[in-house]
Amino acid sequence: MVTNYQLKRVDFIFRNENDYEDVLSKTIARKPQELINELISSELKGRGGAGFPTGLKWKLSSESKADEKYVICNADEGEPGTFKDREILSKVPFKVLTAMAVCGHVIGAKRGFIYLRGEYKYLKPELEKAISEFAYYCKEIKFDFSIHIFMGSGAYICGEETALFESMEGKRGEPRNKPPYPTNSGYMNKPTVINNVETLAHTFTIFKYGAKRFYDLGVQYSRGSKLFSVSGDTPKPGIYELELGMSLADFVDEFGDGDTKAVQVGGASGFLVPRKKFDVTAIGYQGKLTGISLPTGGSMMLFNSSRSMYNVLDNYLEFFREESCGQCTPCRVGCQQLIKGIKAVKRGEKNAKYLDKLLRLTETMQLTAKCGLGQSVANSFSSIVENFREEMIY
């Protein structure tokens, strides 16, 4: 059981002490290797959802030899139920800009980009203002790093890092084969660090206060705090910074409406956890947490007993049917089969056993899809069908 880990609110990300100039100049005065070590010792992992160790990412990029390198802030926040990055960019943009510049210093990049989703275009004017103020300061301290905004245009898949590079290169946002990995060959086939908005904001905290402050939060393998986007059937929807490692039961105690039937952790590509598993589910990266541990980009959607899980699944699958890039067979056709399949079962055109065939299909999708998204589109299907099978049929 994971009851040891209590839900703890934290306030780092949005605490603004208007000191980015100070943090930037102090940090870039330090050696790249020292900063990498600091990051590694913080055990910060990517906050976009995939959870790759940030320090290692920067280290690998810094070791890649190239005439040009890039730092990219992934602000293509498209996962249903996630809205924290928008808030970070509107409330504390300088933390993100500073972190990008520090990353540039560490890996030897002179240019950074913020890939901002088209749906957030209204953020652009303010963000541009912040960037020009930031550029002015960089010039003042003679630090050579420029940041540009690249606008997306309505494509969820561009949040996948290699799809994002393709998009920035003026192409269809289709994920690439890996390897090569971005740290060797990313945007324009140059070594690239691509980090989620929140990840960058956390590095600001780490460089400002030291790795220990961050490391002391959370639990083993899941250090630090994380922003959670809370929505659905909750009396207090919004954005909350919480320590990692809490149990889902505690989370529901805090945010549920007293009738929570299930929580979708990690958005449409994440997992649905039914009430009976709240106690044994912890929010954090895989590791020594007992029970099930679920990493997340921070999307927490609560459903109460008035909600039909069939409708929820149908909505997710429709989303993926439209937002899959369409290039690889398991994701493109698999999504269509899943959605057509649950409809057929619901209408009685296929018998309930067909759900088992579809569950086996989800395994294939997880095993064979080209990108991380394709591998996870079926998560919601398997977790919903396994836990709410009767709702799919009747």
Considering only residues 234-293, where is the footprint of other proteins by CB under 8 A?
A: 237-239, 264, 268
State yes or no: residue 126 binds other proteins (CB under 8 A). Answer: no
Q: 280-296 burial, b if ≥16 CB within 10 A, otherwise e?
A: bbbbbbeeebeeebbbb
State yes or no: residue 24 binds other proteins (CB under 8 A). Answer: no
Report the alpha-carbon distance of residue 325 to residue 305 in Å, rounded: 34
Min separation Cβ 157 and other proteins, Å: 7
Let me know the angle formed at the C-alpha of 75 by 24 and 373, rounded to the nearest 5 degrees.
130
Residue among 4 and 315 whose Cβ is closer to other proteins: 315
Residue among 244 and 361 whose Cβ is closer to other proteins: 361
State yes or no: residue 83 binds other proteins (CB under 8 A). Answer: yes
State yes or no: residue 150 binds other proteins (CB under 8 A). Answer: yes
State yes or no: residue 139 binds other proteins (CB under 8 A). Answer: no
State yes or no: residue 393 binds other proteins (CB under 8 A). Answer: no
State yes or no: residue 157 binds other proteins (CB under 8 A). Answer: yes
Report the alpha-carbon distance of residue 39 to residue 33 in Å, rounded: 10
Q: Which of residues 179-218 bind other proteins (CB under 8 A)?
A: 179, 188
Reported as type and span, the H/E element at residue 249 is helix 248-255
Mention every residue, 6+ apart, whose C-beta is less than 8 A from residue 365: 330, 331, 334, 374, 375, 377, 378
DSSP 8-state code for residue 242: E
Q: Which of residues 354-383 bind other proteins (CB under 8 A)?
A: 354, 357, 360-361, 363-364, 366-370, 375
Residue among 203 and 264 whose Cβ is closer to other proteins: 264
State yes or no: residue 161 binds other proteins (CB under 8 A). Answer: no
Q: Which of residues 86-115 bind other proteins (CB under 8 A)?
A: 86
State yes or no: residue 326 binds other proteins (CB under 8 A). Answer: yes
State yes or no: residue 352 binds other proteins (CB under 8 A). Answer: no
Residue among 124 and 213 whose Cβ is closer to other proteins: 124
- Number of Cβ within 10 Å of residue 87's Cβ equals 18
**Count of residues near other proteins by CB under 8 A:** 83
8 Å CB contact between 41 and 34:
no
Residue span binding other proteins (CB under 8 A) among the ranges 2-10, 41-49, 203-211, 229-237: 229-237
Cα dihedral 264, 266, 269, 271 sign:
negative
Residue span binding other proteins (CB under 8 A) among the ranges 91-99, 128-136, 242-250, 333-341: 333-341
Residue among 87 and 243 whose Cβ is closer to other proteins: 87
Helix axes 197-209 and 20-28, enclosed angle (nearest 10): 80
**CA proximity to 294, closest of 51, 82, 76:** 51
Residue among 46 and 175 whose Cβ is closer to other proteins: 175
Tokens of 369: 């899809």
